């Protein structure tokens, strides 16, 4: 009788084992959900256009949905089904936009979670010196000029700066232009760190015109002044205006030579010219993502 019971129990044990093995084996063929894209950058190109780039971790064909939110408005607005990069146009100047992306698997329409958000601010005019319409002309060939702008000139929460310069009634050659924050001690025209280059090779601004220098990544706290330094080449027909709250510092070159101190952190021998603004016709600002330190 004991042998009969044993034979009956063996099939009962084998069946659950086989079933469990079957489920484990099938699990290897289950398809996981679509993977979340990762935003690599969001960059304002002009006052109306932003470029958004992301990486795709998926190993199967997918498309992407991009959502844009204006300011703090909610919810976001789906704006595109596209591949990276996205050029988003017809935007408003000086406006904050936030982007996020998700993947859509083509085989079954499965949606990934949304990516982390990237917030930018489109380009806008933060400061106008008005030199193209007003001001006086002077020759400063070979000199170095450091322009100190008062705190708050370009606003806050920005990390891209574009400087537009004006020539006088003759051509203006700029050999080097830098941007920096003022040092906490020392001279008012000294920089707190090695200045950030705007240009390092000569740029010629034709007489009576303005020229936009290449934008640079730079963060300016709203409570701090801003230094923009110019090494002037030959010819050096500068344009300036008085009666402003800003201060200009100048180091004059001996005839036939040139001062090269725009890139210097610590400077000496500069004369103070209060309430004057030189060269800077306008400053435009924007914010890119990821943030600039």
Domain ranges of the chain: 38-123, 129-287
Pairing assessment for the beta strands 49-55 and 86-88 based on DSSP bridges: antiparallel
Provide the pLDDT for residue 223.
86
Provide the pLDDT for residue 9.
42
3-state secondary structure of 25: helix
Provide the pLDDT for residue 31.
64
Which CATH architecture describes the domain 38-123? Sandwich (2.60)
- Split the chain (293 residues) into runs of 10 and give each run's mean pLDDT: 41 42 46 92 98 97 96 87 94 96 97 97 96 92 98 90 97 98 96 98 97 95 92 97 97 95 98 98 97 81
Provide the pLDDT for residue 271.
98
Instruction: State CA 232 to chain mean position distance.
Output: 27
Kindly provide the residue ranges of all beta strands, DSSP E only, lying in the chain, ordered along the sequence: 38-46, 49-55, 62-70, 77-82, 86-88, 96-105, 118-128, 136-139, 144-149, 160-180, 196-199, 203-205, 210-212, 216-217, 226-251, 271-278, 280-287
């Amino acid at each position: 009788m004991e042998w009969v019971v044993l034979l009956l129990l063996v099939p009962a044990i084998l069946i659950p084992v086989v079933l469990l093995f079957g489920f484990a084996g099938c699990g290897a063929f289950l398809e996981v959900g679509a993977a979340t894209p990762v935003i690599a950058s969001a960059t304002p190109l002009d006052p109306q256009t932003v470029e958004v780039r992301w990486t795709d971790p998926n190993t199967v064909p997918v498309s992407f949905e991009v959502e844009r939110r204006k300011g703090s408005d909610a919810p976001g607005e789906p704006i595109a089904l596209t591949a990276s990069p996205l050029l988003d146009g017809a935007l408003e100047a000086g406006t904050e936009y936030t982007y996020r992306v998700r993947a859509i698997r083509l085989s079954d329409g499965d949606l990934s979670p949304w990516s982390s958000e990237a917030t930018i601010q489109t380009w806008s005019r933060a400061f106008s010196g008005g030199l193209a319409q007003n001001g006086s002309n002077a020759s400063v060939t070979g000199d170095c000029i450091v322009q100190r702008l008062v705190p708050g000139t370009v606003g806050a929460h920005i990390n891209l700066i574009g400087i537009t310069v004006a020539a006088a009634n003759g051509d203006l050659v700029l050999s080097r232009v830098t941007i920096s924050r003022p040092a906490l001690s020392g001279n008012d025209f000294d920089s707190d760190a090695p200045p950030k280059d705007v240009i390092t090779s000569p740029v010629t601004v034709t007489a009576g015109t303005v020229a936009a220098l290449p934008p640079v990544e730079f963060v300016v706290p709203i409570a701090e002044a801003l230094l923009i330094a110019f090494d002037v080449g030959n010819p050096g027909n500068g344009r300036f205006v008085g009666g402003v709250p800003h201060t200009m510092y100048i180091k004059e070159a001996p005839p036939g030579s040139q001062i090269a101190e725009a890139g210097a952190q610590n400077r000496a021998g500069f004369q103070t010219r209060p309430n004057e603004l030189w060269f800077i016709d306008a400053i435009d600002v924007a914010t890119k993502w990821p943030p600039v330190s």
